[in-house]
Amino acid sequence: MDIECITAGPFETNGYLLSDETKKAVIIDTPLESTHEFMLKIRQKGLTVEAIILTHTHWDHTADAAELKRQTGAKLYVHTEDAYRLEDPKKFSIMRLPFIIEAVEADVLLKGGELIEFGNQTLEVKYTPGHTEGGICLVNHDQKIIFSGDTLFAHSIGRCDLPGGSMPQLINSINDNLLSLEDDYIIYCGHGENTSVGIEKRTNPILNS
């Protein structure tokens, strides 16, 4: 599986373009002003995007969802508990945003446990609330890869002080769904650098406090 990381927006949010030899693809998260870069890579590689999957619906991960959905024709996937923020993204921001974020409607509402297939690849949806009510992570077990959104970072975890957040819930989500996997699973985070399950088990100061 080929993984392209596209970092964009004021918070340097990571979005991901996944594809394989079949030329089928999915997008994970859609940062502000990421559309041009996504579409450039999609056209260069001759890809067909079948799904846009949001790990959660804070605006820095969803700002370009409407435009990417329009340009790719892909279905938009989000957990049912987080879908409400897509209806009026600016309403649920704790800061005044000096730009417009277009509302968008999800095509597929997730609950956790689903398998999303594209090409020869399968992503398992892990329901990991705590950063938001409907946060998810996506796991490719064949290649031992996790896309963690803002659930887990290198040496840190997602913040829990925003509306819908819960520290106990987030810690349980991480322990039950991510750290239960083998140490060599690589974690692609919603912000910052990659890490691994083993590294976070041993060195994450919040999880080991």
Angle, nearest 10°, between helix axes 65-72 and 35-45? Answer: 20
pLDDT reading at 175 higher than 80: yes
pLDDT reading at 43 higher than 90: yes
Confidence at residue 95, expressed as pLDDT on a 0 to 100 scale: 64
Query: pTM above the 0.75 mark?
Result: yes
pLDDT single digits (tens) 108-145: 999 999 999 999 999 999 999 999 999 999 999 999 99
Confidence at residue 185, expressed as pLDDT on a 0 to 100 scale: 98
- 156 within 8 A of 121, measured Cβ to Cβ: no
Confidence at residue 92, expressed as pLDDT on a 0 to 100 scale: 59
Q: What is the mean pLDDT of residues 21-29?
A: 98
Structural domains of the chain sorted by starting position, each given as residue range(s) with its CATH number in brackets:
2-203 (3.60.15.10)
Distances (CA, A) of 167 to 67, 69, 125, 171, 189: 33, 32, 21, 6, 18
Rg (CA), the chain: 16
- 127 within 8 A of 165, measured Cβ to Cβ: no
How confident is residue 88, by pLDDT bands cut at 50, 70 and 90? confident
Q: What share of the chain in percent tops pLDDT 90?
A: 89
- 101 within 8 A of 95, measured Cβ to Cβ: no
